Chains A and B, each alone.
Chain A
Amino acid sequence: MTRRNDAIDAMIGVAAIGVKVGEASARAGLATAYVASRIPLVGAPLRAAADRVTADGHRVRQDAMARIEMTVDQVVESSLTVDMTDRVLRSPAMEHAIAHLASSPDLRKAITEQTTGMAEQTMEGVRRRSEALDEVTERTVRRWLHRSRPQET
């Protein structure tokens, strides 16, 4: 068991070294390209080529996104998906899962806490506004009657 773990750790270590080497190579390559793009005569065509590559990459990414969206729409709208969803929802496994979730104390606690938090927030808002209105109401009525607030004795 330990030997097997050691082997796995060694493989992961080798992979990590590979990643680091790759990253360093990429940095070196990019640095070279950056320097080359600054050299007169070579720099301008090199930058133009880089721009073309970037534009191609952008177009390919846009196309890919559009295709993915179209495919997802087709899958979601297909009757097969609806049938499968209905079948899953009717399945005993789903009922079991829902029953399990509904009886979960953690879930109930979370829902209770959320509800309580919302109620407290609402009441806090009502209290704040009421206090502000207390002052406004008294000021307004006193202004109408030209009376100042009496001082406590």
Chain B
Amino acid sequence: MAAPVATAGDLSTPAPAVGYAGVVSRAVALAIDAVVVEGTLLLIAGMLALVGSLAGGLQLGTTGKVVAAAAWTVATASYFVVCWSASGQTLGMRAMELRVITTLGATPRPSRSVVRVFWLGVCILTLFVGFVPVLFDARRRGVHDMIAGTLVVHAGRTPLP
């Protein structure tokens, strides 16, 4: 069901480099997303903790903590997957007028978004090393973009024909 991952050969016309989002624009968008998602999750967690403490003290065991961490990760990943699959934009990307597209210029499907968010997580966990190729790649792709077959472009400036 996964969408075919296009390669560089799909691009029939060279695109202007300015159409692809650079490392700073993407970092700002990611920071906005982090604030939005993690802030919301923190608020929810705080409210649950408050309710738990009022109800007689909420104590999480090891399993509970693992489940809570997994739920947190899934919620964060879901935000990105849903946003990319729905419109190609998260809230941060909308603010920065960026868009994720496939190398064919389409909005990514959920399966491709799942691949991308997984590798985005890997790129972040490796101290953002996965973003280094953005500085050198002709289409400013990170490792997660290369694997998922996606591009990040400035919305309204489509680099593809």
> Are A134 and B25 touching (Cβ within 8 A)?
yes
Residues of A within 8 A of B11 (CB): 152
Count, A-B residue pairs, CB within 8 A: 54
Question: Is B28 interfacial (CB 8 A cutoff)?
Answer: yes
Q: Which of A127, A142, A147 interacts with B25 by CB under 8 Å?
A: A127
Q: Mark A118-153 against chain B: 1 for CB-CB distance below 8 A, else 0.
A: 000001001100110111011001100001011111
Instruction: Report, as a range, how many residues of chain A touch the other chain.
Output: 10 to 19
Known: A126-B28, A138-B135, A141-B135. A153 touches B23 (CB 8 A): no
Q: How far is the CB of A152 from chain B (nearest CB, A)?
A: 4
Task: Assess whether B14 is interfacial by the CB under 8 Å rule.
Answer: yes
Pair B28/A134 contact, Cβ less than 8 Å:
no
What are the residues of chain B within 8 A of A151 when measuring CB–CB?
Answer: 14, 138
Complex contact B8–A131 (CB within 8 A): no
Range class of the B interface residue count: 20 to 34
Q: Which residue of A lies closest to B97 (CB)?
A: A127
Of chain B, the residue at the smallest CB distance from A135 is B22
A window 39-64: CB within 8 A of B: none
Q: List 22 A-B contacts (CB under 8 A).
A: A126-B28, A126-B95, A126-B96, A127-B96, A127-B97, A130-B25, A131-B24, A133-B24, A134-B23, A134-B25, A135-B22, A137-B135, A141-B135, A141-B136, A142-B135, A142-B136, A147-B136, A149-B17, A151-B138, A152-B8, A152-B138, A153-B8
